[in-house]
Amino acid sequence: MLSELDDKERLRLMKFVCSFAWADLEVQDEERIFVKKMMEKLDLSEADRRQVQTWLQVPPAAEEVDPGEIPVVHRQLFLKTIREVIAADKVLDPDEQENLDLLEQLLS
């Protein structure tokens, strides 16, 4: 559940979400709407919201998105949320699918 995430994990989740929104090299309007709703659900601080907005303009560096840093207890939540952002624009780009498949393998 989202409520189980501490502030650090909430921001980490959003970093992954933004990273996957960029998987096809363009953040779609539907993905931006999804991110905005997620920020509301997570009740992010103003500073964290600004950080997420920055990631929507420029994707997080690949080395900053390490699946190994996701606590085991939160892995299914991260995967579920990432699947949702990928589905937000109703188009499954091959790069998005490939990245999701790899993440699922790394988290299993």
C-alpha–C-alpha distance, residues 65 and 9, integer Å: 12
Task: Give the C-alpha distances (Å, rounded to integers) separating 82 from 28, 46, 63.
Answer: 15, 22, 18
Along the chain (108 residues), what's the average pLDDT of each consecutive run of 10 residues? Answer: 93 97 93 97 97 97 94 96 94 89 92
Report field, pTM of the whole predicted structure over 0.85: yes
**Predicted local distance difference test score (pLDDT) of residue 17:** 97
Q: So what's the pLDDT on residue 19?
A: 96
Q: What is the reported pLDDT for 13? A: 97
The pLDDT assigned to 15 comes to 97
Give the C-alpha separation, 69 to 93, whole Å.
26
pLDDT at 108: 86
